[in-house]
Chains A and B, each alone.
Chain A
Amino acid sequence: MSKFRFQRAQLCIPYGVFLVCFVLAPLIVIIYYAFTNGEGQFTLENLTGFFTSPNTIGTLFYSFGIAVVTTCVCLMLAYPIAYILARSRFRHKSVILMVFVMPMWINFTLRITALKEILTVIEGNLSFHPFLNTIIGMTYDFLPFMILPIYTTLLKLDNSLLEAASDLGADAVRTFLRVTLPLSVPGIISGIVMVFLPSMTNYVVLDMLYNSTYIMGSLIGAYFSSYDWHNGSMIALILLIIILVFTLFTNRYADEDAGSSRGGVLR
C-alpha cells in the first residue's frame, strides 16, 4: 500500500463533489424533464409551447420589463450616491456607507412588510399600481447590491488620472464622462448582474405587494404544483439560458472596457 501523498489538487474534491451533486445532477434532471413529455418520450413541444403561447411569452416579457426598469432605477439612484460617497473628503465614509447597507441586515420579508404599510399610507389602495409597487419593492430590495460594487470601483480610482485630465484642459463634466465613468464600468456591470438577474425571478416581492401577475419564478412554481414537471423544467431551462447569455454578454463588455481603458484614458 503506497503512502498517502497530499496533492494540492485534492483540495478541489469537496467542491467537486458538491458541484456534481447539487449543480450537475439537478441540471441533468431539468434537461431530461424539459425535453420529455408525460410518457417519457422525447419532445420539443414544451419548447415550442413556451414561445407560441401569448401567456408564457407575455410572462417572459413582464419579468424582463420588471428587471430592466428595476435595474435602471437602481443604477440612477446608486451611481450618484456611490460617487458622492467615494469622492467625498469625509473621513468616516464607511459610516455613511453602512447607513445605506444597513437595511440589508434586516430580514427581507420584514422590510417588504414595512414597505407595504408605507406605500399604503402614500397610495391608499395598493392594487391600482401593481407594477409601480413591484418596482419600488425590488429597488428597495436590491439597491445596496448596486451601490456597493460601484462604490468599490470608484474608491480605487487613481486620483492622478483626474489630475492629468484637468491638466490637459478637461473641465469637470468632461473628466467625468471621459475618465471616471468609463473606469467605473466594471462596477456598473457587476451591479447590473447582481440586480437584473434576481429581480427577474424574485416573486416574493410581487406576492407581498399584491401583484398577482406571474413572473418567471412563480410560473415555474405553478407548473410544479400542478405536477407538470416538464413545462416547469423547460421554463427553468429557458431562464438558465437567458442568464447564461446575459452573463456572457456582460463579461465580454466588461473585458472589452477593461482592455481598452488600460492606462485610464479613453480615445
Chain B
Amino acid sequence: MKKKCSTALGLAAAALPMACALCGQTVSASDAPITLRVCNWEEYMDLGEWEESEAIELENGNVILGEKPLYEDFEDWYLETYGREVHVEYSCFGTNEDLYNQLNMGDTYDLVCPSEYMIMKLIAEDRLVPYSDSFYNKGDENNFYVNNVSPYIYETLAENEINGESWGKYAAGYMWGITGVLYNPEFVTGQEAATWKIFENPKFNRQVTLKDNVRDSYFAALGILKADELTDESFISAADYHEQLADVMNDVSPDTIAEAQSLLNALMDNVYSLETDSGKADMITGKIVANYQWSGDAVYAMDQADEDGFELRFAVPKESTNLWFDGWVMLKSGIDGDADRQHAAEAFVNYVSRTDSAVRNMYYIGYTSAIAGNENDDTIYEYIKACYGADEDAEQTVGYPLGYFFSGNNEDEKYMLITAAGQEGRQLYSQYPSQEVMDRTAIMRYFDADANKAINQMWINVRCFDINDVPVGVWVAILAVLLVVLGVNTRKRWISF
C-alpha cells in the first residue's frame, strides 16, 4: 500500500508542472520546493555582483554588499528561517499596461509590483489576495515589512480606499517618488521651473520635454488648467485641502478632457519632444534646458551632470505634484488558495523590506525605498547620512527634517539631517522631498473604463496628424504627380498599340 501511494505521488509530481501550466492548479506536497513566480519592473531589484570596492560601510557598523541577486539571497534565507526550499521564478515587465495585458492573456504570477493606479485597478477587479493578519504582526521579527516601512507610506496606503477597501490590505510599498521639473539653472530660474506652466512658456520654446505617456502628460495639463484654483490661498488653507486637491487632479469630466486636449495640442508646438528615457541624456548633452521628470530619474541625471562638472536641479511645481509608488501585490490567479505559496510570497515581501535589502535596491535602482527602518535599525537613515550628510569641514550647514518619513513626526530631532547649505533642489531634496512638498502631492487614481477610453482617445488625437492640417500645396502636388503618372501610362499604352 505504501509503495502504491508513493508511486501515485511520484506520478502526481511528474504531472504537476503540466497541470500548473494547463489550468493554474497547484498541488502541494509537504516538502516539495515552493515555486514563487515574481514579476517586477525591469532593473528594479539589485542583481548583485558588486565589486568589493562598492561595499557600503555605514557608521552603525553595517557593511552592505550585493553578491547575488536579491531573490537568490531570499531563497537561502527562506530555507534557513523556515526550513523549506523555495524557488523564485523572476521575470520582468516593461509597463503597467504590459503587465495587465500579460495577466489577461493568462500569464500566472504570484507576486507582482505594479504602480498605484494599476494596484487600484486590480483591487477593483477583485484580482488580489489580501495580506494575512500574521503579515501585519509587529511582534514577529521576521515581519520586516510592517516593522520597517515608513509610517508616511504606511498611512498613505491605509488611508486610501477603493470600493471601501484600504489599499494597505493588498499592497506593500516598495519604491515611491514624485514628479517634477528637472532644469538647468544656467538657463532656467528655480521660479520658472517650479510650475507646470514651464511647458507653455514661450521663453523655452522647443527646449523642454514632456513625458510620452498619457497619465503624466494629463497631470501636467491639469496642473496648468487649474493653476489659479490650485495656488489660491483659500483653497490651500481649506480644512479638506487634500481631498479637494485629489479631486481636482483626478478630474476626468468630458469638459476637462476636451480642454486638456487643446492645451496639449498647443504644448506640442512648444516642447522639444515627448520622451520616456532620452530626456536625462538630453539634459546632460544640453539639447534641452528643462524636462518633466520622475524624482528618481532626476537624481540619476543630477549625479551624471555632477560627474560632467555642471549642475542640474529639480523643482516641484507649486500647483501640485503626483505622488506615485510601486507596491507588491499577490494575485489570486497565482496564489490560488495555496497557503504555502502565500507564506513564501509574504516572506519575499518581508525579505525585500529588510533595511539592508532596501539599501541595496536604492543603490542599484536610484529610487527611494518605502522602507525607513525603526528605532533599533537605523541603517536607512545612516545610508542617507552617508550620501547627503554634511562633511565635517563644511562651512555652512542646515538642518533638513526627515521625521515625517522616518518616525511620522517631522519635529523629531533624531531625524534632522545636517546637510550642506544651498542644496535645495538637489539630490536629497528630490529623493526625500520635504514635508512642505509632500503636502501638495496628489495620487492619480486609475481611470474607469469610460474615462480611460476618453483620455486615451484624447491622447491619440493629440499625437495623430490631423488630415485637415495638410497644406493646400501638398494636395496640389499630389494631384500633379497623379496626373503625370496617369498621363505617362496612357501615352505608353497608346504607343504600344
Say yes or no for B41: interface residue by CB 8 A criterion.
Answer: no
Say yes or no for B1: interface residue by CB 8 A criterion.
Answer: no
Say yes or no for B97: interface residue by CB 8 A criterion.
Answer: yes
User: Cβ of A222 and Cβ of B463 under 8 Å apart?
Assistant: yes
Segment 340-383 of B: residues with Cβ below 8 Å from A: none
* Inter-chain CB contacts under 8 Å: number: 83
Q: Residue-by-residue, is A181-214 near B (CB-CB < 8 Å gives 1, otherwise 0)? A: 0000000000000000000000000011011111
User: Cβ of B272 and Cβ of A125 under 8 Å apart?
Assistant: yes
Cβ of A59: which chain B residues have Cβ within 8 Å of it?
464-465
User: Cβ of A212 and Cβ of B463 under 8 Å apart?
Assistant: yes
Say yes or no for B287: interface residue by CB 8 A criterion.
Answer: yes
Cβ of B453: which chain A residues have Cβ within 8 Å of it?
226, 228
Shortest Cβ distance from B214 into A: residue: A226
User: Cβ of B465 and Cβ of A225 under 8 Å apart?
Assistant: no
Residue of B95, B100, B459, B469 touching A58 (CB-CB under 8 A)? B469
* B positions within 8 Å CB-CB of A: 95, 97-98, 100-101, 206-207, 212, 214, 268, 271-275, 278, 287, 452-453, 456, 459-461, 463-470, 495-496
Residue of B214, B273, B452, B468 touching A212 (CB-CB under 8 A)? B273
Residue of B97, B268, B287 touching A120 (CB-CB under 8 A)? B287
User: Cβ of B466 and Cβ of A225 under 8 Å apart?
Assistant: no
User: Cβ of B206 and Cβ of A227 under 8 Å apart?
Assistant: no
Q: What 3 A-B pairs are tightest by C-beta distance, nearest first? A: A226-B456, A210-B273, A55-B464
25 residue pairs A–B, Cβ–Cβ below 8 Å = A55-B464, A55-B467, A56-B464, A58-B465, A61-B467, A62-B464, A125-B207, A127-B272, A127-B273, A128-B206, A210-B273, A212-B212, A212-B268, A212-B273, A213-B463, A213-B464, A213-B465, A214-B460, A219-B464, A222-B456, A224-B101, A225-B95, A226-B97, A226-B214, A227-B452
User: Cβ of B206 and Cβ of A61 under 8 Å apart?
Assistant: no
Residue of B206, B287, B459 touching A222 (CB-CB under 8 A)? B459
Cβ of A125: which chain B residues have Cβ within 8 Å of it?
206-207, 272, 287
Say yes or no for A165: interface residue by CB 8 A criterion.
Answer: no
Number of interface residues of A (CB under 8 A): 30
Shortest Cβ distance from B470 into A: residue: A61
* A positions within 8 Å CB-CB of B: 54-59, 61-62, 120, 125-128, 207-208, 210-214, 218-219, 222-228, 267
Shortest Cβ distance from A55 into B: residue: B464
In the assembled complex, the Cα of A228 lies from the Cα of B207 at a distance in Å of 33
Cβ of B459: which chain A residues have Cβ within 8 Å of it?
222
Cβ of A210: which chain B residues have Cβ within 8 Å of it?
272-273, 275
Cβ of A61: which chain B residues have Cβ within 8 Å of it?
465, 467, 470
Cβ of B278: which chain A residues have Cβ within 8 Å of it?
208
B464, chain A: closest CB distance, angstroms:
4
Cβ of A126: which chain B residues have Cβ within 8 Å of it?
272-273, 287
User: Cβ of B273 and Cβ of A227 under 8 Å apart?
Assistant: no
In the assembled complex, the Cα of A227 lies from the Cα of B495 at a distance in Å of 56
In the assembled complex, the Cα of A57 lies from the Cα of B470 at a distance in Å of 12
Residue of B207, B214, B287, B465 touching A62 (CB-CB under 8 A)? B465
In the assembled complex, the Cα of A78 lies from the Cα of B50 at a distance in Å of 50
Shortest Cβ distance from A59 into B: residue: B464
B127, chain A: closest CB distance, angstroms:
15
In the assembled complex, the Cα of A214 lies from the Cα of B456 at a distance in Å of 13
Shortest Cβ distance from B447 into A: residue: A226
In the assembled complex, the Cα of A207 lies from the Cα of B279 at a distance in Å of 12
Shortest Cβ distance from B104 into A: residue: A227
Cβ of B452: which chain A residues have Cβ within 8 Å of it?
226-227
Kindly list 6 other residue pairs between chains A and B, CB separation below 8 angstroms, not including A58-B468, A213-B463: A55-B464, A57-B467, A58-B466, A127-B271, A225-B97, A227-B101
A218, chain B: closest CB distance, angstroms:
8
